[in-house]
Amino acid sequence: MTLPNPYLPEIATVIETVQETPNIKTFRVRLNNEERMKNFTYQPGQVGQLSVFGVGESTFVINSPPTRMDYLQFSVMRAGEVTAKLHTINAGDQIGVRAPLGNWFPYESMKGKNIVFVGGGIGMAPLRTLMLFMLDNRKDYGDISLLYGARSPQDMAFQYELPEWTTRADMKTVLTIDREAPGWEHTVGLIPNVLTEMAPSPKNCVAITCGPPIMIKFTLQALKKLGFEDDQIITTLEKRMKCGVGICGRCNIGTKYVCVDGPVFTYAQLKELPNEL
């Protein structure tokens, strides 16, 4: 789907909000133009710009899968003026949406392969859209594994979905926190260390990882030590975008524009870029 005017937000109504963690809030929205909402299409991993009128706009992944189109879901970590204002938005309020933007996860080329998802904190948002898409098309993919971690149980997003993810027979889920916490019954340890203990086989496998930069750095190292090739590893770049259509140059890294060429990149592609991340 292409935007009628790439610079003009469409008006959307927030139909529901979820306070995921103390600093992450999820918004479920519907475009006010019912015809546009009915015909809205996107791919797993694409992003949208959410705008608070009179304040500004910021970029967030559409973390509901395109197989479930009751609404568009965005999860926002409070980290600046726009995100702080978004956190005051409630059901019934209106915001601006420019979407879809950017590229997407190459799910077609992953068919028949085993998939390993490695997410940290808010990094579960982009993984969620692809993971649910694959679960909704389960026969197309091999084994699916998820390693999701956060500093503490309170910092884990999508807690209402974790019981299903940990008990599904058609996927393996490992939850971990950085250090012991009262009542925690799952794994304790840093994500790269737990990943090393899980030791997923790189044979016929793709690893997709999203999370804080420091987590990504050591997760990439762990995957390489496990034998994953650079083109078997996929991640997303979280770099500030302005126009979202590759014009302003705000998000360029070398010759690449995150808003157009990304946000999804293989590790092989990342290694070809200047060290500006």
Q: Which two tokens stand for residue 266?
A: 């293989």
Pick the closest to residue 233 from 196, 214, 207 (CA basis): 207
Domains of the chain by range and CATH?
8-99 (2.40.30.10), 105-235 (3.40.50.80)
- Tell me whether residue 243 is annotated as binding: yes
∠ CA(234), CA(138), CA(115), 5° rounding?
A: 25
- Tell me whether residue 259 is annotated as binding: yes
Percentage of the chain modeled with pLDDT above 90: 84
Res 164: pLDDT: 98
Res 255: pLDDT: 62
Three-state secondary structure readout of 33-79: CHHHHHHCCCCCCCEEEEEECCCEEEEEECCCCCCCCCCEEEEEECC
Segment 214-225 shows an average pLDDT of: 97
Give the pLDDT band (50/70/90) at residue 273: confident
Query: What would the pLDDT profile of 71-93 be if each residue is shown by its tens digit?
Result: 999 999 999 999 999 999 999 99
Query: What would the pLDDT profile of 242-268 be if each residue is shown by its tens digit?
Result: 545 555 556 656 666 555 565 799 999
Query: What would the pLDDT profile of 29-82 be if each residue is shown by its tens digit?
Result: 999 999 999 999 999 999 999 999 999 999 999 999 999 999 999 999 999 999
